[in-house]
Structure 1
């Protein structure tokens, strides 16, 4: 079980320091997030930063820790620019970048305030598949063209592939044992991991608990080709300040099949850069 921390709030300099502190104190991953202008009370007053700028700086001042964002929103990125930014951070970090990805939050004004941006969930999901397909082709090192559902380009070539040949992709997918949403689940099965959510009214409600993870892992075991390599199961939550209770949380998640626990603090009224720094300096409970 690996443990990561999301830098949800703070200045760019504070985020880079948070990544350094997380690595020095034994964390396995540092994640930023990908938003532009959120039309949501509380969140609309918090500054947002370019995730690749934060991760590039973090890559230079760290050596071991996994880097990513929870989560990237490819449907509102130009894929050729996304490919270049991801490749840059991948090489700066020596191959430590991962790409948790989703359709993007519908309250981001980068969707709602820009003419022509996809607003319907199905369109954003189809565009997500297009952008991921485009990214994968760009990692070949060969010249390619692309024809997708919403995306069509002529020749491109990125002559240097990622450090490890590809960058791991972890799509977000909703788990519902009664009504499995196969499109998002099948997308995750095709890639390198999954960030599972459940149906809920708030971000906290949507966090997958161990019983959900166990159901999901059992469901996926007979459907994913093991020859595709490791498959990460990445859950979000908040560890208890009590070491014994935190160890029990991690053990329950690991027993259910999760491979990553990511500390996820989003309340804009209580989550400060100082609070996150205190978390980063915590002596982590290990199984």
Structure 2
């Protein structure tokens, strides 16, 4: 199983250093995040930087590590601009970019404070599908037009394709065995992986544990081609005790996870220095 780290807080220079240190210490992935200005206590004074700017800089100072954001919010990006930024980082990194994606945080003022931006979950979900569909068409190298639910464009052509022909997309999907949200689950099945969450009021509560991951993987097994690679990307916090951390990773892997991503979000306690200490940790691989 691969292990990644989210650079949740810090200046751009600190996050680029974090990516470099993570690679040097054996991590498999470095992720930033995609927000503009969050209307949430504790987060409203946190600086938010352009994720593609951070990832472009990280691409230049690393050679191996996977790069992405947890998670990108395509519904508030213009798809043609998103396609250009993603293609740039993809080529700078030699094809190491991945696109974990979701409907966006509804408390982001880029939704709340901008007239005409979608606020309802259904509208953001429809727009997410439109943007992903537009991105995929842009990777063909051929001229295309697009008609979606919310997005309609005339001819576009991106003559340079992604390094590997496409950029992996990992949609967020909420798992609830009693009330599975079919639309988000079906979206994940159509793409290259899934970032499982459970219902919760904050990022920590929404982290999917091994039981939920195992249920989701079992549900998906009969609905997708097992010969096609499909990443299952869980988030959590590894114990400082190496033995306990190995048990956490083993439980996630046994449930079907292919990635563990260290996820630290409390703005009152998490500092850039703490994240750098995490990046320098000797990873407790089995």
TM-score (norm 2): 0.99
| Structure 2: runs of 5 or more not aligned | none
Give RMSD over aligned pairs: 0.5
CA distance in 2, matches of 1:50, 1:126: 24
Q: Deviations over 1:3-44 (max 9, x none)?
A: 000000000000000000000000000000000000001001
| Structure 1: runs of 5 or more not aligned | none
2:276 counterpart residue number = 277
Measured after TM superposition, the shift of residue 225 of structure 1 is 2.2
Q: Does 1:218 align with 2:218?
A: yes
1:136 counterpart residue number = 136
1:84 counterpart residue number = 84
2:263 counterpart residue number = 264
Is the partner of 2:194 in helix, strand or coil?
strand
1:33 counterpart residue number = 33
Measured after TM superposition, the shift of residue 188 of structure 1 is 0.1
CA distance in 1, matches of 2:237, 2:62: 24
2:237 counterpart residue number = 238
Q: How does 1:105-184 map to 2 (within 5 A)?
A: 105-184=105-184
Q: Deviations over 1:52-105 (max 9, x none)?
A: 000000000000000000000000000000000000000000000000000000
Measured after TM superposition, the shift of residue 202 of structure 1 is 1.9
1:250 counterpart residue number = 249
Measured after TM superposition, the shift of residue 201 of structure 1 is 2.0
Is the partner of 1:153 in helix, strand or coil?
strand
Measured after TM superposition, the shift of residue 203 of structure 1 is 1.3
1:73 counterpart residue number = 73
CA distance in 2, matches of 1:253, 1:271: 24
Is the partner of 2:26 in helix, strand or coil?
coil
CA distance in 2, matches of 1:171, 1:202: 18
CA distance in 2, matches of 1:7, 1:217: 27
Is the partner of 2:5 in helix, strand or coil?
strand
Runs of at least 4 residues off by over 3 Å? none
CA distance in 2, matches of 1:197, 1:210: 11
CA distance in 2, matches of 1:68, 1:201: 24
Is the partner of 2:233 in helix, strand or coil?
strand
Is the partner of 1:226 in helix, strand or coil?
coil
1:57 counterpart residue number = 57
CA distance in 2, matches of 1:266, 1:210: 20
Is the partner of 2:48 in helix, strand or coil?
coil
Measured after TM superposition, the shift of residue 146 of structure 1 is 0.1
Q: How does 1:83-102 map to 2 (within 5 A)?
A: 83-102=83-102
Is the partner of 2:145 in helix, strand or coil?
strand
